[in-house]
Structure 1
Amino acid sequence: MSTCAFCPGPLLPTFSDSLPRERCGRCASVWIEGDALTKVMGGSAAEALVRRARGKHGLCKDCQAPLSQVPQCEQCHRPAPTCPRCNIAPLAVTKVHDVEVDVCTTCQGVALDAGELEQLQKLARADRDREFDLKPRLEPETLSKSQCATCKRTVKLKHAFTVNDQLYCGSCAPAGSAPYDPTLTRASPSMEESTSVAVMKNVRWSPVDPISSALDWLFSRLGN
């Protein structure tokens, strides 16, 4: 049984349908093997993370002092975050969408403490809320011209389609668009259905728990 990257606690396998990981039985941090990340999200995600982390210093989990090639913090003497597989310390720290991620640049393993997981889940929820906010924001009085965003032809609003705050004619309307209706407070059923289908086509795998969902969100945006 491996030891947590941040404390003496044991790493316990967490079984789910999504991203394989281990969770510390003491501090609730999460460790993700580099090869698991590669298998599920593709090699580009792991490589992008290592590129970001390479050359970065580590951080003490107690006093946040920067750590560089030392087994323990020189200020508070807490052991440096250590790779459970390679025993390398300290782990390099890099930021991905404001979340600090501890990375082993040798085995491509990733460690997230409980606070980072909570931050990550909040960011992922906020991003999904924005993604699925389907309320039309186009209003007649804000339209200087009723033109199709693609072909620029004049479009009567009663014949127009909208998506992502853009107006389209029937010929140019992209997948996920819906008939324009300024009286709607939420998306029409047709828009909701078509958008759901469009979103599902871009889903590579379906997380089944909040942590997997948040990790999927994080790693799928490494290239952004």
Structure 2
Amino acid sequence: MSACPFCQTTMRSTFLGGLPREECGGCGSVWFEGEALAKVMGGSISDALVRRAKGHPGVCKGCHAKLQYVPSCPDCGTSAPTCPRCGHAPLPVVEALGVTVEVCSDCAGVALDPGELQQLQQAAEAHRNEPLDVRPRLRLGTRPGCAACKRNVKPKYGFVFEERLYCGSCAPEGSVPFSDELSRAEPSAEFSTPHHSGYTAAIATTATGDATGSALLWLFNRVFGR
């Protein structure tokens, strides 16, 4: 047993629906081991999750301030979300399909607080029977340009990261080359939403009733699956 990433209460181990995890009796959060997720989802998905998390800031659970390279919040003093396995803090926050999760960029473990659990389950239920496009979206202004240096760059020669376009010199770690197969971007002030029915979101609660584990697998397979 290990300490909760958020409140440091000792967690209890559970095993439901083929996905082991630890649950906190104090704040109600859950922790999924990176090795267990890799076995269930596959190494490529786990690796993609770690790449997405690297360099991202954490978020204080007390005042919601962004945290980077600090063990506690400088604004309110709340301990930063911490990996119960390797001690990495703060845990980076990753957003996928509107769902936020804390991910350890070192050991690929995933932590969910009660609010994130609810958010995850609602997202899974909302898309249960809907076609879902999971390709990276790209936000462009009226004139395509690098989000960092502002240099004019055509999308086909750029790189996409967090829905923004970058030139080759400024592309952050984890960015991917623009491709029509990944994202059909159109100059717009709003996010473009490609039409594609190649993926269907499906979340099925297991025989043991483990909706949380099933929803988590649904999310990561829709975002990182190939």
Specify the TM-score bucket, using the shorter chain as the normaliser: 0.5 to 0.7
Structure 1: runs of 5 or more not aligned: 132-198
Q: 1:46 corresponds to which letter in structure 2?
A: S
- State the match for 2:101 in structure 1: 101
Deviations 1:180-201 (A, max 9, x none): xxxxxxxxxxxxxxxxxxx9xx
C-alpha spacing 1:90/1:207, structure 2 compared with 1 (3 Å) = farther
- State the match for 1:212 in structure 2: 213
Q: 2:211 corresponds to which letter in structure 1?
A: P
Matches for 1:1-224 after TM superposition, within 5 Å:
1-130=1-130, 206=206, 208=208, 209-223=210-224
Q: Distance in 2 between matches of 1:47 and 1:109?
A: 11
Structure whose CA Rg is larger: 1
C-alpha spacing 1:42/1:204, structure 2 compared with 1 (3 Å) = farther
Give the helix-richer structure, 1 or 2.
1
Q: 1:220 corresponds to which letter in structure 2?
A: N
C-alpha spacing 1:99/1:203, structure 2 compared with 1 (3 Å) = closer
Q: Distance in 1 between matches of 2:111 and 2:68?
A: 17
Instruction: Give 1:204 deviation, angstroms.
Output: 11
RMSD of equivalent CA atoms: 2.2
Q: Distance in 2 between matches of 1:52 and 1:31?
A: 18
Q: Distance in 2 between matches of 1:206 and 1:48?
A: 25
C-alpha spacing 1:215/1:96, structure 2 compared with 1 (3 Å) = same
Q: Distance in 1 between matches of 2:31 and 2:49?
A: 14
Deviations 1:48-105 (A, max 9, x none): 1111111111110111101011110001100000000001111111101111111111
Q: Percent identity?
A: 53
Q: 3-state DSSP class of the match of 2:115?
A: helix
Runs of at least 4 residues off by over 2 Å: 202-208
Q: Distance in 2 between matches of 1:32 and 1:207?
A: 20
Q: 2:224 corresponds to which letter in structure 1?
A: G
Q: Is the 1:48–1:222 Cα contact (8 Å) retained in structure 2?
A: no
What is the TM-score when the length of structure 2 is the normalising length? 0.64
Q: Distance in 1 between matches of 2:91 and 2:63?
A: 16
